[in-house]
């Protein structure tokens, strides 16, 4: 008894017991919820389980990246819409980051006009709810576009109209895989050169233009391989036929509205994150670098940005996660994304609410964990080593 009392008095043991007690209580609560739900569903005559996923879906999906028809299974529908969500998220993340960087630079500029434009952009897009912005782009801005026959012609390669955005489609021949491998190898070489240049600068203090060298490798190596293979990748330019466009890829207005809304809304937050990170570096760092002859490019690439990334990456990761989860609002516009399929089309046909909600939760959780892992790897790679 005395031994038990002595163990209980230890803070670490007591804390461990509390933690495991909480875990057991949560597991019991989850089991109770699952058991109660299963009992009620059985009483109502609703089947449970994931066997329905092999049944025929019976509905069309307007935008797909791989073959799908109404005769496909529910699993195929889930994979198609999951891919749509990933594609929308990735494109919006890249565009929002690119635009947010320029917003941050504008707000830090010495030019009064640029500063005011940047401030106006941030205050306007950040303070209007995202759903209202999506409605504006879909029901107002895009609805003002002309019909197909009067499409806005963009250099005879892309066409914008009320039914969407028609862009060229890549055509891959048999030897196109070699270009893909060339891109992968060139990226690996660029990363290797960047790490070597970073370690070299830590040892000797001498900078190396790793960014431009890596960019040159990523561009030149695939071009050389494509030239040797007689360019096995071509582009199918859309042409307007008798009633519709022939060739190319038609991006739906729902996708365009979602991309516009997600990009412009999140760019305002990303711009403020980048601006705050840059301002966190004391101006004395810039003055010291300027005094020893560093150019503005060297000051930002070698001094300011490496130190600012410590504060930029955590909130930037959080903003990327918010952007990805915001794609669920696509259901309000009718864009066939992951949430639209599971909580709308499939749920209304099967009634398997619990199973579909579980798939939805784990799907978005998987995407979020993947983005967080990628950003964590990047954070460790850019971390300034402590001496």
What residue spans of the chain are helical by DSSP H? 2-9, 11-43, 74-108, 112-126, 130-135, 176-204, 210-228, 253-279, 283-291, 296-298, 305-326, 338-340, 346-350, 353-381
For residue 55, what are the CA distances in angstroms to 51, 243, 350, 361, 367?
8, 36, 10, 22, 26
Tell me the per-residue pLDDT of 30-75, one tens digit each, with 9 for 90 and over. 888 877 877 776 776 666 677 778 888 888 887 787 788 888 888 8
Tell me the per-residue pLDDT of 174-215, one tens digit each, with 9 for 90 and over. 777 888 888 889 989 988 888 888 788 778 877 777 778 888
Q: In the structure encoding, which two tokens stand for residue 175, read together?
A: 């030897």
Contact present, 355 and 83 (Cβ < 8 Å): no
Q: What number of other Cβ atoms are within 10 A of residue 59's Cβ?
A: 17
Write down the pLDDT at residue 197.
Answer: 83
Tell me the per-residue pLDDT of 159-177, one tens digit each, with 9 for 90 and over. 888 878 888 887 777 777 8
For residue 297, what are the CA distances in angstroms to 98, 293, 302, 305, 339?
18, 11, 8, 10, 44
Under the banding of pLDDT at 50, 70 and 90, the label for residue 125 is very high
- Residue corresponding to tokens 């803070």: 11
Grouping H, G, I as helix, E, B as strand and the rest as coil, residue 259 is helix
Pairing of strands 233-236, 239-240: unpaired
Tell me the per-residue pLDDT of 268-326, one tens digit each, with 9 for 90 and over. 999 999 999 988 888 888 788 888 777 777 777 778 887 888 889 999 999 999 999 99
Grouping H, G, I as helix, E, B as strand and the rest as coil, residue 249 is strand
The 8-class DSSP code of residue 146 comes to -
176: closest CA among 230, 215, 221?
230
Calpha distance 162→148 (Å, rounded): 7
């Amino acid at each position: 008894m005395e031994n038990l009392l002595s163990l209980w008095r230890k803070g670490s043991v007591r804390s461990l017991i509390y933690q495991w007690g909480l875990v057991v209580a949560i597991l019991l609560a989850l089991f109770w919820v699952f058991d109660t739900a299963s009992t009620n569903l059985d009483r109502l005559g609703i089947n449970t389980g994931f066997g329905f996923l092999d049944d025929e879906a019976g509905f069309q999906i307007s935008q797909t990246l791989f073959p799908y028809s109404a005769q496909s299974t529910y699993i195929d529908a889930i994979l198609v819409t999951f891919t749509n969500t990933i594609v929308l998220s990735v494109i919006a993340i890249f565009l929002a980051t690119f635009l947010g960087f320029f917003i941050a630079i504008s707000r830090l500029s010495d030019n009064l006009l640029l500063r005011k434009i940047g401030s106006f952009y941030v205050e306007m897009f950040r303070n209007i709810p995202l759903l209202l912005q999506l409605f504006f782009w879909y029901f107002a801005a895009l609805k003002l576009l002309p019909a197909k026959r009067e499409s806005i012609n963009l250099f005879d390669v892309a066409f914008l109209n009320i039914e969407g955005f028609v862009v060229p489609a890549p055509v891959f021949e048999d030897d196109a895989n070699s270009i893909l491998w060339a891109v992968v190898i060139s990226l690996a070489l660029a990363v290797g050169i960047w790490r070597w240049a970073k370690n070299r600068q830590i040892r000797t203090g001498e900078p190396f233009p790793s960014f431009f060298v890596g960019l040159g490798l990523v561009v030149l190596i695939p071009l050389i391989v494509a030239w040797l293979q007689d360019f096995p990748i071509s582009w199918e330019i859309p042409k307007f036929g008798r009633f519709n466009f022939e060739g190319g890829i038609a991006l739906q207005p729902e996708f365009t509205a979602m991309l516009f809304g997600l990009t412009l809304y999140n760019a305002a937050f990303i711009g403020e994150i980048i601006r705050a990170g840059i301002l966190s570096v004391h101006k004395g760092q810039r003055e010291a670098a300027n005094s020893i002859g560093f150019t503005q490019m060297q000051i930002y690439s070698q001094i300011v940005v490496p130190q600012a990334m410590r504060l930029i990456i955590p909130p930037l990761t959080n903003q990327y996660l918010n952007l990805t989860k915001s794609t669920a609002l696509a259901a309000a516009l009718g864009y066939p994304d992951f949430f639209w399929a599971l909580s709308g089309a499939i749920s209304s046909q099967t009634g398997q609410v619990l199973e579909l909600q579980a798939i939805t939760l784990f799907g978005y959780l998987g995407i979020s964990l993947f983005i967080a892992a990628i950003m964590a790897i990047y954070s460790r790679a850019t971390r300034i080593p402590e001496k």
